[in-house]
Amino acid sequence: MSAKILDGNAIAKSLRGDIAVQVKQWVSAGRRLPGLAVILVGNDPASEVYVRGKRRDCDEVGFHSQVQHLSANVTQQDLESRIHSLNGDHSIDGILVQTPLPDHIDEERVIDCIDPDKDVDGFHAYNIGLLALRRPNFRSCTPKGVMLLLEHIGLDFKGLDAAVIGASNHVGRPMGLELLMAGCTVTAAHRFTRDIAAKVRLADIVVSAVGKPGLVSPEWIKPGAVVIDVGITRGANKKLYGDVQFDAVKEIASWITPVPGGAGPMTRVALLQNTFQAARAHLGFSE
């Protein structure tokens, strides 16, 4: 059996098209454009590429966007005061601080400063808390994007076994909460997990978010499982690698995402959906 490829580029493109249509209707009703502000600190080349991509996505669907590019030496106080002023800016619905941040910056404090109603990345403790309580507001973009992929193939989640490999605050943990909310029985695996292969092998859905190329081998995968590879590592040759041994796992799984072109574009489309959601809420339209 050879798995079907879950083409995140194609699915994200179609979802962007839907958003663009909704934005046109929104604007023709006389409303202001949804607005996203991105704060980029320093000159990390990968972050610059991600921010350019986010800006391009905003242009494509018709959002207003702005990027504040700050020096790597910015102080905690300066960065926080930028966020406070964006919190009060009525043309901005969503605020995103691109990570990683320089070592001297306390990232948790930075995220705590973002108004939870503008936290379109879904990283604020308030929004993670709502997700844990099954009352999601802004859902973290990568896990939300993965759920959009899984919904696209029409999975009936209830009762399925899911394994999430990686338990970070931004990806693995909210991913587990999403799958739990959907009715899966979730195993959260991480660097201290013993006999990880035995645990992952029970899963109907496997999401890997570690950042270790080739970590997930075919022996870990139950025949017919759906395998989502969130990991992205840039090799010395500049090529991007996922966590999953794609060619071998493809022969065992029923569906599999490529890297690049799987979870990445879905993360970006989830950001657009969250920003539009924020604009609707700010202008008094409930979901």
Residues recognised as catalytic: 54, 98, 121
- Candidates 35, 122, 136, 166: give the one binding ligand NAD (CB under 6 A): 166
Would you say 221 and 247 are in contact if contact means Cβ atoms under 8 Å apart?
Answer: no
Of 246-265, binders to ligand NAD (CB under 6 A) are: 263-264
71-79, 150-158, 163-171, 277-285 -> range binding ligand NAD (CB under 6 A): 163-171
Segment near ligand NAD (CB under 6 A); pick from 16-24, 66-74, 129-137, 168-176: 168-176
DSSP characters for 32-79?
A: PPPEEEEEEES--HHHHHHHHHHHHHHHHHT-EEEEEEE-TT--HHHH
Part in contact with ligand NAD (CB under 6 A); list of ranges 16-24, 104-112, 115-123, 204-212: 204-212
Report, in Å, the least distance between residue 148 CB and ligand NAD.
Answer: 12
Choose, by CB under 6 A, the member of 97, 111, 163, 171 that binds ligand NAD. Answer: 171
Q: How far is the CB of 10 from ligand NAD (least distance, A)?
A: 16
Q: Please state, in angstroms and rounded to a whole number, the distance separating the CA atoms of residues 216 and 250.
A: 12
With beta carbons less than 8 A apart as the criterion, state whether 71 and 42 touch.
yes
- 231 in contact with ligand NAD (CB under 6 A): yes
Residue 281, both tokens: 């809420």
| Cβ(171)–Cβ(209) below 8 Å | yes
Tell me which of 170, 216, 274, 275 binds ligand NAD, using CB under 6 A: 170
The window from 18-26, 52-60, 227-235, 247-255 that contacts ligand NAD (CB under 6 A) reads 227-235
CB of 199 to ligand NAD, least distance (A): 10
Which C-beta is closer to ligand NAD: that of 160 or that of 164?
Answer: 164
Quote the CA–CA distance of 44 and 70 in Å, as a whole number: 12
**Backbone φ, ψ for residue 96 (5° rounding):** -130, 130
Q: Quote the least distance from Cβ 14 to ligand NAD, whole Å.
A: 18
Q: What is the chain's percent helix, strand, coil content, to nearest 5?
A: 45, 15, 40
Interface residue with ligand NAD, options 9, 233, 240, 282 (CB under 6 A):
233
Q: Cα–Cα distance between 232 and 235 in angstroms, integer?
A: 10
Determine the residue type at 59: D
Helix (H) or strand (E) holding 165: strand 161-165
Summarize as ranges the residues that interact with ligand NAD (CB under 6 A).
Answer: 142, 165-168, 170-172, 189-191, 193, 196, 209-212, 215, 230-233, 263-264, 267
